Amino acid sequence: MNKHKKDTSNGSFRSLFMHVDSADMFLMAVGLIGAIGDGMGLPVTLLFTTTTMNSIGGSSSVSADVYIDKINKNAVYLCYLAIVKCVACFLEGYCWSRTSERQASRLRLTYLKAVLRQDVAYFDLNVTSTADIITSVSSDSLIIQEFISEKVPMFVANATSFVGAYIVSFILLWRLAIVGLPFILILVIPGLISGRILLRLSRKIREEYNKADAVAEQAITSVRTVYSFVGENKTIKDYSDALEGTLKLGLKQGLAKGLAISSNDK
């Protein structure tokens, strides 16, 4: 049973890319290369900038021609790097956005086909309201599309920058890099803890919003009944009570984000 749960949890991430075809694989591969190039832009820029600063600092010990030649080479390298990073950022943004749109549209179509194949008894027993179906089709697909188009390339770029920065630091001054290496835990551990807390709060906020959506949908679909029995105030109160939970959870979410950002800044 534990093995089955483990397989299910491991397959949840892969299931986000279950609607990938050959064109999407190509777009994701090119976008991955672009994200890696985007992430390596900052460490390589620091490497060339450091070389330029060292050339300026050691200008007194070399001739003017050698000094100017080194500065010109580093300037040309920085220009080439800017061009490469521009191309990489374009490939990253275009390819991931394009493949996310393709996969999200295919996901909506598959979901709609699965819903239409169900019997009427399924909606009576498993679906509390039509708001659940509407929310699943619209919000869930948009969340998956945002994850593929923004979160994945952002994670790859940031991870590449993180690793690339340490590689450059070892190239420039490996003794100081070894001293600062254990402090990675101070940056990683708060991020992991805050990430799990924010994920749990986001799920709870979504559940609370679903309750509020259900109240609003029932009031709108039966607006004549509400108006006939003078139930406007009760409906407003029920909707406000349903949103109270999201307000409290939103404050907790903001506090968790603030603590995570402040811990990383320190």
Quick check: 71 pLDDT over 60?
yes
For position 222, what pLDDT does the model report?
80
For position 242, what pLDDT does the model report?
81
Verify that 108 and 25 share a domain, yes or no. Answer: yes
- Report yes or no on 5 lying in a domain: no
Verify that 32 and 151 share a domain, yes or no. Answer: yes
For position 265, what pLDDT does the model report?
57
- Report yes or no on 221 lying in a domain: yes
CA–CA dist 32, 26 (Å, integer): 10
What tokens appear for 61 in the block?
A: 């010990």
199 phi and psi angles, rounded to 5 deg:
-65, -45
Q: How confident is the model at residue 254 (pLDDT cuts 50, 70, 90)?
A: confident
Verify that 41 and 159 share a domain, yes or no. Answer: yes
Task: State the average pLDDT for the chain.
Answer: 80
Question: Which of 138, 172, 206 lies at the terminal end of a domain, its last residue?
Answer: 172
Question: Looking at per-residue confidence, does 215 or 126 come out higher?
Answer: 215
Helix H or strand E encompassing 156: helix 152-180
Verify that 160 and 48 share a domain, yes or no. Answer: yes
Of the chain, the percentage scoring pLDDT greater than 70 comes to 85
Weakest-pLDDT range from 15-24, 40-49, 54-63, 72-81: 54-63
Quick check: 6 pLDDT over 80?
no
Q: How confident is the model at residue 60 (pLDDT cuts 50, 70, 90)?
A: low
pLDDT digits (tens, 9 = 90+) for 117-171: 777 776 666 655 555 666 667 777 788 888 888 889 999 999 999 889 888 888 8
DSSP 6: H
Q: In CATH, what number is assigned to the domain containing residue 148?
A: 1.20.1560.10
Of the chain, the percentage scoring pLDDT greater than 90 comes to 16
Verify that 158 and 234 share a domain, yes or no. Answer: no
Verify that 87 and 143 share a domain, yes or no. Answer: yes
Verify that 138 and 230 share a domain, yes or no. Answer: no
DSSP 193: H
- Report yes or no on 49 lying in a domain: yes
Verify that 214 and 255 share a domain, yes or no. Answer: yes
- Report yes or no on 108 lying in a domain: yes
Whether 43 contacts 161, CB under 8 Å: yes
- Report yes or no on 141 lying in a domain: yes
Verify that 207 and 236 share a domain, yes or no. Answer: yes
Q: Give the structural domain span for 117.
A: 18-172
Domains identified in the chain, total number: 2
The DSSP result for 212-228, as a single string, is HHHHHHHHHHTHHHHHH
CA–CA dist 42, 89 (Å, integer): 12
CA–CA dist 208, 251 (Å, integer): 14
Question: Which of 172, 200, 219 lies at the terminal end of a domain, its last residue?
Answer: 172
Question: Which of 143, 172, 201 lies at the terminal end of a domain, its last residue?
Answer: 172
Verify that 223 and 151 share a domain, yes or no. Answer: no
Question: Looking at per-residue confidence, does 214 or 29 come out higher?
Answer: 29
pLDDT digits (tens, 9 = 90+) for 183-212: 777 777 877 888 788 888 888 888 888 788
- Report yes or no on 1 lying in a domain: no
Verify that 165 and 178 share a domain, yes or no. Answer: no
Q: Indicate the pTM of the whole model.
A: 0.69
CA–CA dist 127, 104 (Å, integer): 23
CA–CA dist 264, 148 (Å, integer): 25
Verify that 110 and 201 share a domain, yes or no. Answer: no
- Report yes or no on 219 lying in a domain: yes
